Chain A
Amino acid sequence: MWRGRCYEVTASPPAGPDRLTPPTLRQQFTALARDPLFREGLRDYAPVCLGIAVWGTVAGVAMTKAGLDTGLAILMSLLVFAGSAQLATVPLIVGGASIWVVWATTLCINLRFVVFSAQWRPYLAGVPLRQRILMSFFSGDTMFVLFMRRFPEPQPGPGQIAYFSGAAVINWLTWQSFSILGIVLGEAVPTRWGFAFAGTMALTALTCALLKDRSTWIAAAVAAAAAVWTYTLPLKLNIMVAITAAVATGVVLHRAAALRGMR
């Protein structure tokens, strides 16, 4: 009868006047750790961990190599918990960018999560707010992919939160330990080993993954040309010029294609 227990653990009802003592945090944790769906989440995530470990180490070393203070780099890893945004913004921070350019870049790179959040909604809309806030923090790219593969039907179901928790725990621990390892070891790793370039290549691969049709290729070409062309602007404003130009180009091309399709 794991179903009943699972609900008890993950979405305990609000404590009413006639309710017995609510389970302590420790009891809740023990029950969760025994939940088969929690274990399934751990197990499903395990193969992804190799990639997360490499990616975390590269991001950590690249952050230190770019010149970010060790303490601040660790803080960023713990609080921001978004590898591609961290990798992309550290050189901007160190290179004297305006804080607004860094924030705008973070926003743009993380906008994909907005799409994910809309897709999480049918599963999690009924979960208590506090739990939803916590889950939002952990819902990175790989979490999304795994969860959607395990629960293809966009509706709430038993064990979803236990499954999410299992995957989230192993994801968070793996990422943080390897990222912090990279940050701490960063000083000892010679620059010529090319770890910073490994970070650039990781971002390049993510870029390639977004190139799907003609309008995305053209938008990317516009962004590349604009970023290089306006490189001498202060505060890394070239990034903003490139983003604006590329998004505008993309939207115009997309609408033009849609209009042609309608005729």
Chain B
Amino acid sequence: MSSWETLACILGMALITFVCRSLFLLPREEVGMPRWLREGLRYAPLAALTAVVTPDILMTDGELIDTWKDARVFGAAAGIAWYFWRGSILGTMAVGTGTLMLLRVTLGW
């Protein structure tokens, strides 16, 4: 993207975020939420986050990693384990990143 296109992109993102936050708050009349929207809402954020995160953890240069000696995999596994144990987002960030750093520094992965 060029700088101008990035600028347009950011303005669009701001608008989209605002519309999402205000959608059912601004109309004068009460608006019911249609069923398809309610069901889609259940899965869309999960799907988008998973689609963005997975390649960041499991791929290098567009290829699925072919070695288990990858610090990211262990970092992510430790972070996810921490999340399901303690339920803390900050803890997940600390444990996952800490594990990654430890493996990189000690084993050079």
Knowing A108-B45, A228-B54, A246-B43, say if A193 contacts B101 (CB, 8 Å). yes
Q: Is the interface of A mostly helix, strand, loop or mixed?
A: helix
Knowing A93-B6, A99-B1, A194-B100, say if A137 contacts B49 (CB, 8 Å). no
Render B3-17 as a binary contact track against A, CB cut-off 8 A, 1 for contact. 101111111111011
Q: List 29 A-B contacts (CB under 8 A).
A: A58-B93, A69-B3, A72-B6, A93-B6, A105-B48, A105-B52, A109-B49, A110-B17, A110-B21, A114-B24, A121-B25, A133-B22, A136-B21, A139-B21, A194-B100, A197-B100, A207-B46, A207-B49, A208-B80, A208-B92, A210-B49, A223-B46, A224-B51, A228-B59, A232-B62, A242-B50, A246-B47, A249-B43, A250-B42
Which residues of B (26-72) have their CB < 8 Å from a CB of A? 26, 30, 33, 36-37, 39-59, 62, 64, 72
Q: What is the size, in residues, of chain B's interface with A at 8 Å between Cβ atoms?
A: 66
Q: Please tell me if the beta carbons of A250 and B24 are within 8 angstroms of each other in the complex.
A: no
Q: Please tell me if the beta carbons of B62 and A231 are within 8 angstroms of each other in the complex.
A: yes
Which residues of A (26-79) have their CB < 8 Å from a CB of B? 51, 54-55, 58, 68-69, 72, 75-76, 79
- Contact size range, A: 35 or more
Kindly list chain A residues whose C-beta atoms are within 8 Å of the C-beta of B46.
Answer: 207, 210-211, 216, 219-220, 223, 246, 250
Q: Please tell me if the beta carbons of B51 and A227 are within 8 angstroms of each other in the complex.
A: yes
Asked if A3 is an interface residue, CB under 8 A from chain B, the answer is no
Can you list the 7 inter-chain pairs with the closest CB atoms, starting with the nearest? A250-B43, A136-B22, A242-B51, A246-B47, A108-B48, A201-B96, A205-B92
Asked if B20 is an interface residue, CB under 8 A from chain A, the answer is yes
Pick the contact of A254 from B12, B33, B39, B88 — CB < 8 Å?
A: B39
Flag the segment in A82-90, A156-164, A175-183 that touches B.
A82-90
B63, closest chain A residue (CB) = A231
Pick the contact of B49 from A116, A201, A206, A250 — CB < 8 Å?
A: A206
Asked if A165 is an interface residue, CB under 8 A from chain B, the answer is no
